[in-house]
Structures are given as structure tokens and as C-alpha cells.
């Protein structure tokens, strides 16, 4: 009997906290719940539709056998950097710059790069792979939850000191005072050119393409 | 309707989504996708959000990303069933079989380990591919440029040593 009550209380807490999550989003002025959900739907749709959540794309890039990831990433960043700068200048958006925490960025970047090559996913593409049935990535996500648990438990004593002090929220145009617009334009155009110039190499997955009719298979063109 | 989106179309659409997310007419927020993990860990392991410094720090961005994540799961699922036709249950990626091994146990253990250090790495750096690469570099943030450089190098070095690049 006591067990039953325990289970009910537990699930209530879980449901309550998911409601709390939604209420937190309502309380912030960062878009309605519907809009934030929609941003997620589009994010998942684009990643799924362009297949960049695939192991063959991310681990394939780590072996330099597939270049779709850097091509798409650099194109998106190049275009956004120019558009965003002028949007901010016009008052249509704000900066949300992350601080330079040097040790955190370097140690974190190394751990992240190693794990991205092995898992063949990142925290954004992982859930989208799970949504299409990749069970190995679900195990990876459970590993991630334990990672999040350990990080939260030892944040004050270990991880926060390890990250080091913030050196400020500098952006590249700050080094070119008077030429900010030019800096952004050169950066954006350079990234778009890099995206176009990186040779297109693709690693295909037979299991992924076997459901498509022959004439629609990108590897048979 | 095409079953695959070319990389340039994916890049243009992703750029449009980023601008919508940043815009004051959109969410006035940057796009991120790793803070939700410790946020959910707090929920699942039933940690008191008032007791842990980190959970207090990520209360807002963690919940924002949590709602977005539900959207991403939904969008990914619908697209995989109706457009890309790639929904199926699988345990070992094809290229893992070609360049690593055929063992399900090996793949699952490495996945768990990689997932674990991935979230610690992302939270140490304060962002991931979405938060630092897409959102951070688009603002020309120095933090994102440092993270991006370190990740690109480590990724390629790990790929070189971890996999057997000659297909079996």
C-alpha cells in the first residue's frame, strides 16, 4: 500500500515539474509556448530533412569522409551573421553573447569534440535521431542525463572553479572599432565562400536509402 | 516532393530559423540545445531546484529549451515518417559497422560514455553546436570562435584515431 502511494506521489512530482517548465516559459518574455514549440518543430524538421543528424554525417566528418556538416553549418552562420548584425542595428534583435570562460571553453571543447566523434551526434541532433528510432542514441541520452546530474551535483565544488573566471562577452567587431560593419560583412561573406568551396564529399547509408525508389536516391544521381 | 534537402537549402532555412528566434518579433532568444539536459536531469532525479546553484542558474534557459526539445522531437518524428521515410528502430549505425565493429554492446557502451562526457563538456563550455556554433558564431562571439576551433580540431583528431578509416 505504501508503495502505491509512493509511486503516485513520484509521478505527480514529475508531471508538476513539467507543468512548471511550461509556466517558466510563459513567465519569460521570450516567445509564447506555442512559438517556442514551433521553433523546435522547425529545428527538428530542417535537421531531419537535410539528414545532418546521421552518424554517417557527423562521425563521417570526423573521418573526413563527409563534408555536409561543415558546408551547411558555415553557410547558416555566414548568412545569419550578416542578417543578425543589421537586425540588431535596426533594433529588431539583441545580442545574447556567451562569456569567454577560457578553461571551460577549452576543456569543454575537447570533451565535446571527442564525444561528438564517438557518438556521431550532438545535443541538438541527438533527440532528432531518437525521434527516428535510433536506440543507441537513446542510450547516449541516458548517459547525458547522468552527465547533467554529475555536473549539477558537483557544480559548486568542482566544475565552477574548473571553468575559470569570465573574461567578458567580447565579439570580433570590438577589435575593429569604426569598421564594425565591414568586419561583419567580411566574416559573413568569407564563411559563405568557405561553405561553397569545401569539396562536397558524402558517406551514404544503405539502410537509410533503401526505402526510397531508385530515381529518388541521392547516391544514384 | 524531394525526400532529401540539399545542404544549401538546409543552411538557408536554418539561418531563417535563427533570425526568427533572435528577432524581437520572434523569441528574442538565442537558439541552444544542451541546457535542457541538466534541466531534465533535475526533474528525473528529483533534485530540489532551490537547493542546487546550477539548477537555479539554468531555470529560465533550461525550461525554454525543454519546450523547444519537445517540438524538435515532434518535428523530427513527423519528418522521418512522412518525408524522409527513415523511421526504424536500430542499434548500430551502418558506418560504425564499416569503420569500427559489429558489436551492439560496444556501440551502446561507447554511446553511454560519449553522452556522459558530451554533456559535461557542453556545460563546462556553456554551449554546444547550437548555442556556440550556430548562435554564438553568428554573433561573432569570441567565446564561440574559441569553442568552435577546439571542437573542430578534437573532432577530426578523435575520428582519425578512434575509427579504422579503411573500410573492413
Block residue for cell numbers 578523435: B158
pLDDT greater than 60 at residue A115: yes
Radius of gyration over every alpha carbon of chain B, rounded to an integer in angstroms: 18
CB-closest option in B118, B151, B155 to A147: B118
User: Closest-CA residue in chain B for A160?
Assistant: B124
pLDDT-derived band at A11 (thresholds 50, 70, 90) equals: low
Interchain contact B20–A (C-beta under 8 A): yes
Tell me the whole-structure pTM to 2 decimals: 0.94
Interchain contact B166–A (C-beta under 8 A): no
pLDDT greater than 60 at residue B159: yes
**Which grid cell is A201?**
564529399
Which residues of chain B make contact with A139, given a CB cutoff of 8 A? 108, 111-112, 115
pLDDT value at position A2?
46
Q: Is B14 exposed, middle or buried (0-12, 13-18, 19+ CB in 10 A)?
A: buried
pLDDT greater than 70 at residue B98: yes
Find, among B85, B42, B47, the residue nearest to B65 by Cα. Answer: B42
Mutate: best of A15, A48, A135, partner B, most B CBs <10 A: A48
Q: What is the pLDDT of residues B4-54, one digit of tens each?
A: 999 999 999 999 999 999 999 999 999 999 999 999 999 999 999 899 999
pLDDT value at position A214?
82
pLDDT value at position A213?
82
Interchain contact A164–B (C-beta under 8 A): no
Q: Compute the nearest-CA separation of B50 from chain A (Å).
A: 12
Q: Do A75 and B7 touch (CB under 8 A)?
A: yes
Name the β-bridge partners of A166: A101
Asked which of A1-5, A38-42, B40-44 is least confident by mean pLDDT, the reply is A1-5
| Beta-carbon count within 10 A of A164 CB | 16
pLDDT value at position B167?
73
ipTM for this model = 0.96
Block residue for cell numbers 548555442: B131
What's the Cα-to-Cα distance from A141 to each of A14, A60, A217, rounded to whole Å? 18, 20, 30
Q: Do B147 and A105 touch (CB under 8 A)?
A: yes
Q: What is the pLDDT of residues B49-87, one digit of tens each?
A: 899 999 999 999 999 999 999 999 999 999 999 999 999
Give me chain B's average pLDDT, please.
Answer: 95
Find, among A56, A44, A161, A142, the residue nearest to B118 by Cα. Answer: A142
Q: Distance (Å, rounded) from C-alpha B133 to C-alpha A7?
A: 42
Interchain contact B105–A (C-beta under 8 A): no
Q: Distance (Å, rounded) from C-alpha B27 to C-alpha A28?
A: 10
Element (H, E) at B76: helix B59-82
Give me chain A's average pLDDT, please.
Answer: 92
Q: Distance (Å, rounded) from C-alpha A52 to C-alpha A61?
A: 11
Which residues of chain A make contact with B36, given a CB cutoff of 8 A? 123
Contact A67, B156 (CB under 8 A): no
Interchain contact B79–A (C-beta under 8 A): yes
Cβ-Cβ contacts under 8 Å for A67 (sequence gap 6 or more): A61, A198, A199, A200, A201, A202
Q: Do B95 and A122 touch (CB under 8 A)?
A: no
Element (H, E) at B110: helix B104-125
Find, among A127, A20, A161, A33, the residue nearest to B55 by Cα. Answer: A20
Q: Do A39 and B122 touch (CB under 8 A)?
A: no
Q: Do A39 and B21 touch (CB under 8 A)?
A: yes
Q: Do B27 and A195 touch (CB under 8 A)?
A: no
pLDDT value at position A12?
62
Name the β-bridge partners of B90: A134
Q: Do A104 and B120 touch (CB under 8 A)?
A: no
Which residues of chain A make contact with B103, given a CB cutoff of 8 A? none
Count of residues for chain B?
168
Amino acid at each position: 500500500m505504501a508503495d502505491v502511494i509512493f509511486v503516485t506521489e513520484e509521478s505527480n512530482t514529475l508531471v508538476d515539474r513539467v507543468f512548471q517548465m511550461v509556466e517558466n516559459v510563459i513567465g519569460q518574455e521570450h516567445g509564447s509556448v506555442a512559438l517556442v514549440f514551433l521553433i523546435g518543430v522547425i529545428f527538428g524538421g530542417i535537421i531531419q530533412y537535410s539528414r545532418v543528424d546521421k552518424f554517417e554525417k557527423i562521425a563521417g566528418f570526423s573521418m573526413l569522409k563527409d563534408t555536409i556538416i561543415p558546408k551547411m553549418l558555415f553557410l547558416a552562420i555566414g548568412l545569419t551573421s550578416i542578417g543578425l548584425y543589421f537586425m540588431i542595428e535596426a533594433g529588431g534583435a539583441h545580442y545574447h553573447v556567451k562569456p569567454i570562460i577560457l578553461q571551460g571553453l577549452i576543456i569543454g571543447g575537447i570533451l565535446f569534440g571527442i564525444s561528438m566523434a564517438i557518438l556521431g551526434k550532438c545535443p541538438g541532433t541527438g533527440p532528432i535521431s531518437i525521434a527516428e528510432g535510433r536506440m543507441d542514441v537513446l542510450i547516449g541520452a541516458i548517459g547525458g542525463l547522468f552527465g547533467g546530474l554529475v555536473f549539477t551535483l558537483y557544480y559548486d565544488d568542482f566544475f565552477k572553479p574548473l571553468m575559470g573566471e569570465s573574461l567578458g562577452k567580447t565579439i570580433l567587431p570590438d577589435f575593429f572599432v569604426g569598421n564594425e560593419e565591414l568586419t561583419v560583412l567580411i566574416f559573413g561573406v568569407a564563411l559563405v565562400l568557405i561553405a561553397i568551396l569545401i569539396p562536397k564529399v558524402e558517406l551514404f547509408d544503405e539502410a537509410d536509402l533503401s526505402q526510397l525508389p531508385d530515381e529518388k536516391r541521392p547516391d544514384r544521381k | 516532393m524531394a525526400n532529401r534537402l540539399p545542404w544549401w537549402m538546409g543552411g538557408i532555412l536554418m539561418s531563417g530559423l535563427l533570425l526568427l528566434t533572435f528577432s524581437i518579433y520572434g523569441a528574442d532568444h538565442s537558439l541552444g540545445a544542451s541546457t535542457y539536459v541538466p534541466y531534465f536531469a533535475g526533474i528525473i532525479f528529483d533534485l530540489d531546484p532551490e537547493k542546487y546553484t546550477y539548477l537555479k542558474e539554468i531555470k529560465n534557459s533550461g525550461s525554454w529549451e525543454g519546450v523547444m526539445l519537445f517540438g524538435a522531437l515532434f518535428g523530427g518524428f513527423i519528418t522521418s515518417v512522412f518525408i524522409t521515410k527513415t523511421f526504424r528502430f536500430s542499434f548500430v549505425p551502418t558506418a560504425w559497422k564499416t569503420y569500427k565493429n559489429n558489436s551492439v554492446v560496444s556501440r551502446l557502451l561507447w554511446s553511454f560514455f560519449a553522452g556522459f562526457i558530451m554533456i559535461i563538456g557542453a556545460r563546462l563550455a556553456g554551449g554546444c553546436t547550437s548555442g556556440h556554433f550556430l548562435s554564438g558564431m553568428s554573433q561573432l562571439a569570441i567565446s564561440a570562435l574559441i569553442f568552435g576551433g577546439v571542437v573542430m580540431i578534437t573532432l577530426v583528431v578523435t575520428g582519425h584515431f578512434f575509427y579504422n578509416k579503411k573500410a573492413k
